[in-house]
């Protein structure tokens, strides 16, 4: 690191803080301004803010680890979520915006009735907004800690190598992460969602351009020899876009996905599990961005742009660098494979570019952290504190409370970081411990019989089942034959199956939602569909706007379009131009089908066209 590198990073921090200060007055007017920008975002700001949030500091490291273990096809751990993401675009984006709420948790007391609904709203506010949220922030912190540790070996925190506090061990790198967290906390508490979204635009641009530059520099190193040299040096099977299915290893020690993992990724995970940014039916900070848009059309377009950019545009610079690390650092241990991305930066980038790339990582980290702090605080204040603890105060009080909640979440997430060891392990925990809840989150929009108890059961059951399996596994010898079936992805099948049976049973033994609440929800959201027939029959004056056939065609076409764009870009990078051209022909055809369906049935999808 030269002086110019530090100057670049410092200049970037100054810009972010200036934006936060400039927008602080606007964010402080009300909780609506603080959490959802006064519902005034155009689609391109809201959509880019979604992409920037999911472009976290942990993502390139996790992708590097996945590529090192399973080749390019290892990314199906998260590529599969495109199917659910595109479902959100066409089936749920309009409904979320039409609901007119501030958080997705607020939907609970609009959709359900009575004390179970109130309990569920408070429970989800704490469970998702606090417990799950701090775990997610924890693994994002862990990624930045790794980056600092690899970039600055032997680093101390003003002479301190590590700090023991309240039973937690904080390394010097983690203490520096805490400083960055404090900085983010300042501008996130000052500027609210307006400031976060505007800085997201800057951060996404810096992060994307910088990682592209890194990929170009690294692939042209003499040790790599350009793209053709990289292809020649990689183990067999590494460049496959679709998984190799089998057991054991393939040539070059690239692991094949088991049949169970393949089925889990493509047939179960995308609809069954809750995951931040990829919730079945939408939700979380993606829903928050939908609420912040000007209207339903902007909500749909924002989510569509996010889905395309998230899956088809962003991954390739990371993947190219990850492939290069296999050549440059072939001896990295299993737990160090993700570090290869940062090691490339440290060892091969010239002065100036190194500062820019570190600024990009800080950008990715701060964008994600700021969103999670704001989103988690929205749950804590709007759906717990304001709803159950302190009612009837003015907006200034709740804005102040929101800022306090932001700081508390920041502190808790730092403590969680001290306990985490591996990023992908945290991913697998979140996916497994929420297995089965996804179907409820989808069906609550389209089946009148779902009630609060259905969702409560679907939330609690997988967490309890995961705990039982974990304890059972811990008590067995590590080499017991059954151990392989007590870990991800096998556990996902047991948990999803059992959870689905449990919540369906609970649904039918508990009372339906109060009829008045169902009628009000149906009139407000107009979801339509045969599963609302008992309610719709009593409300003939309500005409649902959805044409499910057209929406299904758009959904399938959208999935095909994005996957083909993803693979087409890959083939283009690897010099397979004819194959890339054929992929892009399919992309154009799928986009044409979506466009024609939108035009044919504008009232069903975008009523103001």
pTM: 0.83
Nearest residue to 237 (alpha-carbon basis) of 226, 225, 261, 253: 253
Strand partners, 384: none
C-alpha angle 117-122-125 in degrees, rounded to nearest 5: 120
Nearest residue to 606 (alpha-carbon basis) of 571, 563, 566, 554: 554
CA distance 277 to 272: 14
**What was the pLDDT predicted at 396?**
82
Backbone angles phi, psi at 41, to 5 degrees: -80, 135
**What was the pLDDT predicted at 482?**
84
CA distance 607 to 526: 13
CA distance 586 to 591: 8
Topology (CATH) of 3-86+97-223+261-267+281-420:
Sodium/glucose cotransporter (1.20.1730)
Residue in the structure block whose two tokens are 């758009």: 554
Cβ contacts of residue 561 below 8 Å, gap of 6+?
308, 586, 587, 590, 591, 594
pLDDT digits (tens, 9 = 90+) for 487-528: 777 888 889 999 999 999 999 999 999 999 999 999 998 888
Q: How far is C-alpha 542 from the chain's CA centre?
A: 35
Residue in the structure block whose two tokens are 């040790």: 223
Q: How far is C-alpha 560 from the chain's CA centre?
A: 21
**What was the pLDDT predicted at 343?**
87
Tokens of 81: 């979520």
pLDDT digits (tens, 9 = 90+) for 539-577: 888 877 667 888 899 999 999 999 999 999 999 999 999
3-class state of residue 163 by DSSP? strand
Helical spans, DSSP H, in 220-264: 226-233, 259-263
Flag residues of the chain having pLDDT under 50. 248-255, 604-609
| Contact criterion met (CB below 8 Å) for 283 and 277 | no
CA distance 127 to 563: 33
Nearest residue to 512 (alpha-carbon basis) of 447, 441, 437: 447
DSSP state of 104: G
Nearest residue to 435 (alpha-carbon basis) of 481, 370, 503: 503
CA distance 213 to 351: 14
DSSP state of 373: H
**What was the pLDDT predicted at 180?**
85
Exposure b/e, 103-120, CB count within 10 A at least 16 = b: bbbbbbbbbbbeebbbeb
pLDDT digits (tens, 9 = 90+) for 243-264: 766 654 443 444 456 677 777 7
Strand partners, 164: 169
| Contact criterion met (CB below 8 Å) for 243 and 403 | no
3-class state of residue 207 by DSSP? helix
On average, the pLDDT of the chain sits at 83
Name the helix (H) or strand (E) containing 113: none
> What's the start-to-end Cα distance of the chain, in Å?
53
CA distance 89 to 302: 9
CA distance 158 to 347: 25
Cβ contacts of residue 282 below 8 Å, gap of 6+?
88, 92, 93, 96, 104, 290, 303
Residue in the structure block whose two tokens are 């969680």: 416
Exposure b/e, 365-393, CB count within 10 A at least 16 = b: bbbbbbbbbbbbbbbbbbbbbbbeeeeee
């Amino acid at each position: 690191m030269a002086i110019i590198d530090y100057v670049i990073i410092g200049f970037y921090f100054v810009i972010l803080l200036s934006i936060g200060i400039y927008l602080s007055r606007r964010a402080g007017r009300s909780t609506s301004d603080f959490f959802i920008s006064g519902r005034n975002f155009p689609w391109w700001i809201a959509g880019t803010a979604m992409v920037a949030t999911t472009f976290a500091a942990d993502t390139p490291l996790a992708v590097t680890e996945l590529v090192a273990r399973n080749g390019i096809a290892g990314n199906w751990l998260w590529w599969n979520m495109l199917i659910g993401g595109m479902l959100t675009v066409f089936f749920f984006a309009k409904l979320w915006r039409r609901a007119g709420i501030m958080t997705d948790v607020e939907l609970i007391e609009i959709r359900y009735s009575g004390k179970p609904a109130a309990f569920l709203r408070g429970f989800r506010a704490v469970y998702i907004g606090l417990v799950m949220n701090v775990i997610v922030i924890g693994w994002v912190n862990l990624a930045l800690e790794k980056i600092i540790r690899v970039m600055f070996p032997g680093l101390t925190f003003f002479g301190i190598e590590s700090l023991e506090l309240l039973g937690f061990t904080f390394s010097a790198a983690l203490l520096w992460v805490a400083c960055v967290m404090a900085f983010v906390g300042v501008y996130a508490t000052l500027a609210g969602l307006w400031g976060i979204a505007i800085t997201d635009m800057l951060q996404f641009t810096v992060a994307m351009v910088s990682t592209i530059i890194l990929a170009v520099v690294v692939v042209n190193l003499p040790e790599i020899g350009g793209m053709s040299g990289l292809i020649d040096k990689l183990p067999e099977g590494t460049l496959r876009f679709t998984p190799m299915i089998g057991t054991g290893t393939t040539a070059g020690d690239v692991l094949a996905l088991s049949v169970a993992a393949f089925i889990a990724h493509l047939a179960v995970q995308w609809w069954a599990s809750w995951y931040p940014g990829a919730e079945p039916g939408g939700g979380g900070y993606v829903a928050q961005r939908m609420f912040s848009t000007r209207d339903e059309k902007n909500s749909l377009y924002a989510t569509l742009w996010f889905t395309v950019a998230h899956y088809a545009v962003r991954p390739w610079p990371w993947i190219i660098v990850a492939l290069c690390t296999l050549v440059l650092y072939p001896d990295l241990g299993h737990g160090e494979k993700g570090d290869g991305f940062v090691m490339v930066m440290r060892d091969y980038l010239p002065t100036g570019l190194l500062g820019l790339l570190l600024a990009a990582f800080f950008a990715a980290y701060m964008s994600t952290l700021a969103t999670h702090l704001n989103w988690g605080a929205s749950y804590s204040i709007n759906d717990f504190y304001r709803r159950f603890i302190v009612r009837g105060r003015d907006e200034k009080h709740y804005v102040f409370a929101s800022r306090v909640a932001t700081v508390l979440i920041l502190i808790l997430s730092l403590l969680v970081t001290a306990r985490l060891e591996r990023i992908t392990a945290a991913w697998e925990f979140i996916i497994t411990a929420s297995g089965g809840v996804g179907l409820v989150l989808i069906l609550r929009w389209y089946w009148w019989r779902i009630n609060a108890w259905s969702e409560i059961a679907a939330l609690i059951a997988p967490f309890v089942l995961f705990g039982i399996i974990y304890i059972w596994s811990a008590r067995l010898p590590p080499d017991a034959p059954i151990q392989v079936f007590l870990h991800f992805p096998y556990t996902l099948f047991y948990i999803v199956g059992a959870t689905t049976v449990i919540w369906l049973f609970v649904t039918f033994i508990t009372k339906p939602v109060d009829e008045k609440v169902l009628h009000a929800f149906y009139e407000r959201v107009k979801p339509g569909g045969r599963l609302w027939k008992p309610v719709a029959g009593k409300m003939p004056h309500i005409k649902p706007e959805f044409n499910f056939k057209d929406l299904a065609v758009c959904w399938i076409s959208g999935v095909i379009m994005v996957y083909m764009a993803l693979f087409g870009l890959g083939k283009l990078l690897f010099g397979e131009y004819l194959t890339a051209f054929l992929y892009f022909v399919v992309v154009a055809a799928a986009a044409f089908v979506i466009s024609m369906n939108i035009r044919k049935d504008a009232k069903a999808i975008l009523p103001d066209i």
